[in-house]
């Protein structure tokens, strides 16, 4: 008899299989668990506690787990449970409770949707009015929508049946004010639209009434592809291994969007079959994976996408369970690592109208940025690595309950005060906590500008990877081991911030912009990060603190604008084609800029103005 592996506390089950690791079983069963490095045995994040006998932990597991190995924890990507059994997922291994940013700043919704519904009564043909069915429909329709003059062949094929079924009472779907793309028997309800921001880490859907412009519901979830790997590169590698794996990634995203659409509709008391238009944005890898485009070109130089224009497809052709006639529009992408999400945020922020030099930055595993100045736009993408999302950090985790998000270090005794998401004992550190910790340690003089810990200070001690700083001792944490920031963690942040800073400086140099007037921080990390701390680690070029502004999920706002208005959609197309692109990989000056900005800035002297600038 096949036994099951039961994942607790969810109670989800997967048939035991001696050939597959626990992580592979979890992925196949849709168990929402962390698999940061895609099961390569590099991250040490896929921790589980088997509740019964297993084979002993490998040396690699012990090395990655440290103290936690002594508590019986194992790595799911190294553990097989051939006979089944129960396994506990610690909080930090679960993909739940993540803070997800849904609100965005920018753009006003003009209501001018590409799709409209018209409820009509089409008179039957008669001997004294023997007009064909198509022209009869147009005759009735033109009283309301005079510009409509086209009927597709598919519509003509179904038209007699639709008219007969409902005695001439039909709902006509008109696109772009000119073309009939569907005729449905009876008088259908609402004309709804769905805007989707498909991020590497999170997915947000917005349900909009396309007739009134009213926002009906917003739903968000973790992108389930995270169980395959946290970052885009891991997913592209997974996808490029087999066609089946590529379709697994695609289905995970599609199912997530369908699930969120159903939830949003349930909240609003409407049906997914009333959604006639969907607009999606996301980075180029998400775009390719969702649409089933071959992403191999994104993994190797020159990182060329299969298609960059805005794409219109039937929603059902990509697995979206909306109205049968629904269409999907993906905003254009700019380059292999500058996606439709960046185009959407330039639309939301009306970037082309920004006269003063403004850096728009969306921080994740890639730092996508746009420099706007005097109507000119230039973008680039800097490979920051996963540090800003808590990845590649010894005790890093996502911004979920238990993650340290803010650190203060007080007095000569270097007493540490932690702010933890959910107000529970700390389990790890998220990206904003990492930036905060390093900023606090720089300010307290514990870290040098080179990123080295000073010896013989309270809290500083030797660790397995050089010196480390104890943020919290085992008895006050939620996982029974000290919470530490290691020299390797600091170096990881240094590399990430130097890449972002170098990208920003190169954009400025290329456009001849000597200084910035504003920095707009888009996305979750930008929203939760303290601007003063970002300045303290030297993430941005010199700027007054008050001129750094968080704009929330502006990409989501851009998607909503393109959903509500055809004109906004045209503006997005024109922004994508007029925006210049700067390729950083292989740029002759990138390395110099990167090395110049590896050191942290020296702390601002105490008592200086809050609006002080930081070099």
Footprint of ligand FES on this chain (CB under 6 A)?
Answer: 23, 35-37, 39, 41-46, 75, 77
Distance in angstroms (rounded) separating the CA atoms of residues 97 and 91: 9
Q: How many residues does the chain have?
A: 615
Nearer to ligand FES, 36 or 250 (CB): 36
Taking the complex as a whole, the smallest distance from the CB of residue 38 to ligand FES amounts, in Å, to 6
Taking the complex as a whole, the smallest distance from the CB of residue 337 to ligand FES amounts, in Å, to 23
Taking the complex as a whole, the smallest distance from the CB of residue 76 to ligand FES amounts, in Å, to 6
Nearer to ligand FES, 24 or 341 (CB): 24
Distance in angstroms (rounded) separating the CA atoms of residues 166 and 536: 68
Distance in angstroms (rounded) separating the CA atoms of residues 156 and 348: 39
Distance in angstroms (rounded) separating the CA atoms of residues 360 and 495: 20
Taking the complex as a whole, the smallest distance from the CB of residue 58 to ligand FES amounts, in Å, to 11
CA 183 to chain centre: 36
Nearer to ligand FES, 22 or 137 (CB): 22
The helix/strand/coil state of 131 is coil
Taking the complex as a whole, the smallest distance from the CB of residue 345 to ligand FES amounts, in Å, to 31
> Taking CB positions, which residue lies at the least distance from ligand FES?
77
Nearer to ligand FES, 35 or 193 (CB): 35
Sheet arrangement for strand 47-50: 12-15, 4-8, 85-88, 47-50, 74-75
Distance in angstroms (rounded) separating the CA atoms of residues 105 and 551: 5
Taking the complex as a whole, the smallest distance from the CB of residue 93 to ligand FES amounts, in Å, to 10
CB 318, CB 291: distance < 8 Å: yes
Taking the complex as a whole, the smallest distance from the CB of residue 207 to ligand FES amounts, in Å, to 34
The helix/strand/coil state of 421 is helix
Q: Name, in order, each residue with C-beta under 8 angstroms of 71's C-beta and a sequence gap of 6 or more.
A: 49, 480
Taking the complex as a whole, the smallest distance from the CB of residue 204 to ligand FES amounts, in Å, to 25
Taking the complex as a whole, the smallest distance from the CB of residue 57 to ligand FES amounts, in Å, to 12
CB 469, CB 547: distance < 8 Å: no
Nearer to ligand FES, 235 or 501 (CB): 235
CB 396, CB 430: distance < 8 Å: yes
CA Rg, the chain, in Å?
27
- Dihedral sign of CA atoms 244, 284, 431, 484 in order: positive
Taking the complex as a whole, the smallest distance from the CB of residue 228 to ligand FES amounts, in Å, to 10
Nearer to ligand FES, 45 or 219 (CB): 45
Nearer to ligand FES, 36 or 494 (CB): 36
Distance in angstroms (rounded) separating the CA atoms of residues 184 and 53: 60
Taking the complex as a whole, the smallest distance from the CB of residue 36 to ligand FES amounts, in Å, to 5
Nearest CA to 84 among 143, 20, 145?
A: 20
Distance in angstroms (rounded) separating the CA atoms of residues 490 and 454: 13
Nearer to ligand FES, 226 or 508 (CB): 226
Distance in angstroms (rounded) separating the CA atoms of residues 32 and 26: 8
Distance in angstroms (rounded) separating the CA atoms of residues 23 and 2: 18
CB 215, CB 206: distance < 8 Å: yes
Nearer to ligand FES, 201 or 373 (CB): 201
Give the CA-trace dihedral at 417, 423, 425, 431, to 10 degrees. -70
Nearer to ligand FES, 24 or 209 (CB): 24
Nearer to ligand FES, 76 or 217 (CB): 76
Distance in angstroms (rounded) separating the CA atoms of residues 73 and 483: 17
Backbone torsions φ then ψ of 64, nearest 5 degrees: -80, -30
193, containing H or E segment: strand 192-198
Distance in angstroms (rounded) separating the CA atoms of residues 322 and 333: 24
Taking the complex as a whole, the smallest distance from the CB of residue 564 to ligand FES amounts, in Å, to 40
Taking the complex as a whole, the smallest distance from the CB of residue 229 to ligand FES amounts, in Å, to 8
Nearer to ligand FES, 17 or 573 (CB): 17
Nearer to ligand FES, 43 or 204 (CB): 43
Nearest CA to 555 among 351, 328, 281, 350?
A: 281
């Amino acid at each position: 008899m096949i036994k099951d592996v039961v994942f607790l506390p969810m109670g989800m089950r997967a048939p035991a299989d001696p050939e597959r690791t626990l992580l592979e079983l979890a992925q196949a069963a849709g168990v929402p668990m962390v698999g940061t490095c895609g099961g390569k045995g590099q991250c040490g994040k896929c921790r589980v506690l088997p509740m019964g006998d297993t084979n002993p932990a490998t040396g690699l597991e012990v090395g990655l787990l440290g103290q936690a190995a002594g508590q019986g924890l194992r790595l799911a990507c190294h553990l097989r449970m051939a006979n089944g059994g129960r396994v506990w997922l610690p909080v930090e291994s679960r993909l739940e409770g993540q803070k997800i940013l849904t609100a965005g700043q920018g753009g006003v919704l003009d209501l001018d949707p590409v799709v409209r519904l018209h409820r009509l009564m089409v008179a039957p043909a008669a001997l004294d009015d023997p007009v064909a069915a198509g022209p009869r429909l147009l005759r009735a329709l033109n009283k309301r929508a005079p510009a409509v003059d086209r009927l597709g062949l598919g519509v003509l094929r179904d038209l007699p049946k639709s008219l007969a079924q409902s005695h001439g009472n039909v709902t006509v779907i008109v696109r772009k004010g000119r073309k009939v793309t569907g005729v449905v028997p009876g008088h259908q309800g609402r004309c709804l639209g769905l805007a989707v921001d498909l991020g590497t880490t999170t997915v947000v859907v917005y349900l909009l009434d396309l007739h009134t412009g009213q926002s009906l519901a917003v739903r968000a979830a973790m992108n389930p592809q995270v169980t395959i790997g946290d970052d885009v590169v891991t997913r592209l590698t997974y996808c490029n291994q087999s066609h089946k794996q590529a379709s697994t990634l695609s289905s995970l995203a599609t199912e997530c969007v369908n699930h969120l659409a159903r939830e949003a509709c349930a909240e609003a008391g409407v049906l997914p079959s009333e959604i006639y238009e969907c607009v999606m944005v996301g980075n180029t890898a998400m775009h390719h994976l969702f649409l089933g485009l071959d992403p191999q070109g994104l993994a190797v130089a020159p990182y060329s996408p299969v298609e960059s224009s805005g794409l219109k497809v039937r929603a059902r052709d990509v697995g979206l369970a909306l109205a049968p006639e629904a269409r999907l529009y993906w905003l254009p992408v700019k380059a292999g690592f500058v996606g439709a999400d960046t185009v959407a945020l330039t639309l939301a922020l009306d970037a082309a109208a920004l006269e003063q030099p403004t850096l728009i930055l969306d921080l994740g595993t890639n730092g996508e940025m746009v420099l706007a100045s005097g109507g000119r736009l230039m973008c680039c993408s800097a490979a920051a690595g996963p540090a800003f999302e808590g990845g590649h950090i010894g005790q890093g985790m996502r911004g979920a309950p238990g993650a340290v998000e803010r650190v203060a270090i007080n007095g000569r005794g270097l007493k540490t005060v932690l702010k933890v998401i959910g107000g529970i004992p700390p389990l790890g550190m998220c990206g904003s906590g990492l930036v905060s910790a390093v900023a606090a340690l720089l300010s307290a003089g514990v870290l040098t500008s080179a990123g080295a810990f000073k010896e013989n200070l309270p809290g500083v001690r030797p660790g397995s990877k050089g010196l480390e700083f104890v943020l919290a001792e085992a008895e006050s944490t939620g996982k029974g081991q000290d919470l530490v920031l290691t020299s390797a963690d600091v170096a990881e942040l240094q590399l990430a911030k130097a890449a972002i800073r170098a990208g920003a400086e190169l954009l400025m140099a290329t456009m001849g912009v000597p200084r910035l007037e504003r920095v707009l921080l888009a996305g979750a990390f930008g929203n939760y990060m303290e601007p003063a701390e970002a300045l303290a680690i030297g993430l941005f070029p010199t700027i007054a603190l008050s001129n750094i502004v968080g704009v929330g999920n502006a990409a989501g706002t851009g998607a909503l604008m393109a959903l509500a208005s055809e004109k906004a959609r045209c503006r997005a197309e024109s922004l994508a084609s007029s925006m210049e692109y700067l390729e950083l990989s292989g740029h002759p000056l990138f390395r110099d800029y990167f090395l110049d900005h590896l050191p942290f800035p020296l702390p601002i002297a105490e008592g200086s103005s809050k609006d002080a600038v930081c070099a």
